[in-house]
Amino acid sequence: MAWQRTTKEVRPNTTTDFWECPDEDKVTIKEMLEDTGKSISFSVEISSDGLTKTKTRVFDSEASKNAFISSDFYVALEAKHAKHCTDNSTTKSKITDEEI
């Protein structure tokens, strides 16, 4: 069964940048997930007030999701995101992590 993971990032104002995954990491994500069929879809939505960014990724299985989020690559990527949040007073939270 497919697995959906949704996160949101909230920023204090619209002049504060949301986290943006570095281009070289986007390439790695594409190679690890999209090119292998482990990611079925990925979407990003910005709220109407511009303060909340919601990202949803659907994996082909819970096992694929677990392998990705436990990878050294993802752990390092999350550390970069956490630093951005600390430096810019934004917050990241998980909304869903469930079978669909």
Q: What is the pLDDT of residues 45-86, one digit of tens each?
A: 999 999 999 999 999 999 999 999 999 999 999 999 999 999
Contact 5, 56 (CB under 8 A): yes
How much is the pLDDT for 59? 98
Which segments of the chain does DSSP mark as H helices, in order?
23-29, 62-69, 72-88
Taking domain 3-99, whether its CATH number is 3.30.70.100 is answered by: yes
pLDDT band at 92 (very low <50, low <70, confident <90, very high): very high
How much is the pLDDT for 74? 97
Sign for the CA dihedral angle at 43, 47, 10, 97 comes to negative
Task: Give 12-52 pLDDT, tens digit per residue.
Answer: 999 999 999 999 999 999 999 999 999 999 999 999 999 99
Rounded Cα gap, residues 43 and 24, in angstroms: 19
